[in-house]
Structure 1
Amino acid sequence: MDFDLSEEQSILKDSLDRLLADKYGFEDRKRHMASPEGFSADMWSRFAEMGLMALPFAEEDGGLAGTPVETAIVMESLGRALALEPYFATVVLGGAFLRFGGSADQKAEYIPALAEGSLKMAFAQVERNSRYDLHHVETAATKDGSGYSLSGQKSVVLHGDSADKLVVTARTAGGTRDEAGIGAFLVDASADGVSVRGYRTQDGMRAAEITFDKVKVGAEDALGEPENGLPLIRRVVDAGIAALAAESVGVMSAMHALTVDYLKVRKQFGVAIGQFQVLQHKAVDMFVAAEQARSIALYATMLADSEDAGERARAMHAAKSEIGRGGRICGENAIQLHGGVGMTMEYAVGHYFKRMTMIDTMFGDADYHLRALARDGGSLAA
């Protein structure tokens, strides 16, 4: 199988890497983090100008007809730069809801705005008692005339404090943990009854706690089937996991490169510490973990748009469990080999490990997905 990038994909990668290298240094990132939005509005506009927002959408919807491979290229570059912009929340997750569950009217209204960078989205799914289970939904969507009234609370909504539109999971029928009776709804973030409290997460990103108090939504605001939205939600999350796998490759590669450079310049007993064999072994362990992550990320990318829900889910379980394990190997060795400086806020490597840790916990950590993979019979079903 040929894993080489096409000419267009190589141009995309080189152009984005060049932009991030020139405009997104570690000091730039700290300045963007301190801004009210928590990211760079200028970089967001540059991403839109490059066509990154339009990548995954069909041409008839105003997009560039990209595949999960193009999304993976972008996510790996953003991971390597530790970019703060809401690309994952808006384009990967919000965009996937529109691609897979949006009506013709919803696509016509929202995709052009998203592609030009004027619309930001966030996925409001996590609840205080839901842990990693997508079917645990307490937020209620009560029938109200032809539409619904939403009431409940959502936690750790990534970039929820800067989103214009929220995709909210809510229960239209059944009990708290029933798989049926769950819908996904588009909600205006400034609608009456929506209360947003934003904060910075441990990895420098932004998230929000959001409360919905009898928020009115129309029937036209439902994405897919309001009574059977879980398959759509799972498909979107699978696309998100594949994108996170690609981002993790960028994060782990950057940690390894920083560590190897440090081993070459840090001296002890009159020689560079990289000459000590035991430290070379740890650097090799990091390299192996990063390359294994790259392989499993490619596997997840190839299956991200698969119509076979079972095969797709097994691929994402495998990717998440392997990347969580490898990310910890890379992060722990990077911090140890850097010594005390690796723990400081002024040095980049600790920030990469924080991001890697957050990636591990999003949509289920390594242990959660390893159990799920074992339950489903392994990555290759009988």
Structure 2
Amino acid sequence: MAADGNVRFKPVEESCSSEDETDKVTPFIAKSKSKRGFKYEKLIKNEIDDNLRSKIEEIGRKNGKPVNHFLKRGIFFSHRWLQEAFDVPLVIQMSDDEKYFSEDLQNGEEPVSIETIREQTRENVKDIIALGFDVNKTFIFSNFEYMCPEYYKNICRVQRLIKLSRMKIVFDFDDNGNIGKINFPAIQAAPCFSSSFPHIFHGKRDVPCLVPCAIDQDCYFDLMREIAIKLDCKKPALIHSKFVPSLVGGVRYKMSASKPGSILLTDTNEEIETKINEYNADPIPERGSRDNRSKKSDVDVIYHYLYYFMKSDEFDTLKTKYDNDEIQSDDLKSELIKILKTIIGEIRQRRKQVTDEMVKRFMTPRPLNYKYKHGSNEIL
């Protein structure tokens, strides 16, 4: 955050298609050539600084909510922690249309149908509900199903203000893709304007929006920051997450449910154990000076998973112990298996209780119950 209180962002051309000697990150490709994985200090210019972090922690404490470890370790914000700590409405967008436009999603030799994707979306919504969101403060919508007049007007306003040439630069589009991909960014980004949800914000155009997202989604909302004033809307604020790495590609690739090497919320305890135990870390390159050489913790996905999912303060000593050979990879695997079995096991149990009626309730446009009043100084 700058001295004047404004968050500084990289120009869109830089932030959306970051491609130096190590990383390529767009909404469609995320790959690092470095054995240590993505260099977030290059991708994220405006990291959460100590002053902003302190302010967030203060508001959380005031509402009786301890700070989530995702924030403490600089990983991300937990959506649910935000909802509980700040008592604000949460809107979750299911971009099922993006899946339909993707040429990578196949069912055998044929592209996946809209009907199949809609069924998958419903199952994904059940996964989200099982994480514990408050139905009275949460609206989940599918792009296929929610297209009210105000939302569509905002989409058209966005489309009119952004040139096709700019889209090609920002999203790395070429002439071989379908036109759905060109149209989609406006659909993805327009929900950051409060007037897209008249049932929640009663037509107000200036309610601020905070978007927690992975860094590869930054470009959609960075564009909206550029045009928000022309639309008489508030600029969206963003906080970025780091990628959860793939068990197959290692720290150079992000985990993706559509590719091998992913831990799924539907995995059994046996599947979790097998996937973790079958993982082998990349060898550590010997190049460079001793001080600059990669360490085991830099390249080991198991260590990175513990970074995300081990809430205990004991995690702080793991890196030194592992890099000094006081503990081995099998020790980390045993700890991670125990943690993931507990986390995913609890989610599985809650998911069994999620009914189609609950899905319908979360996805029905309706007023939400929250205390935040527009203009409050309590909100960042």
Compute the TM-score of the two structures, normalised by the length of structure 2: 0.29
Structure with higher RCO (Cα < 8 A, 6+ apart): 2
Compute the TM-score of the two structures, normalised by the length of structure 1: 0.29
Of Structure 1 and Structure 2, which has the larger fraction of its residues in helix? 1
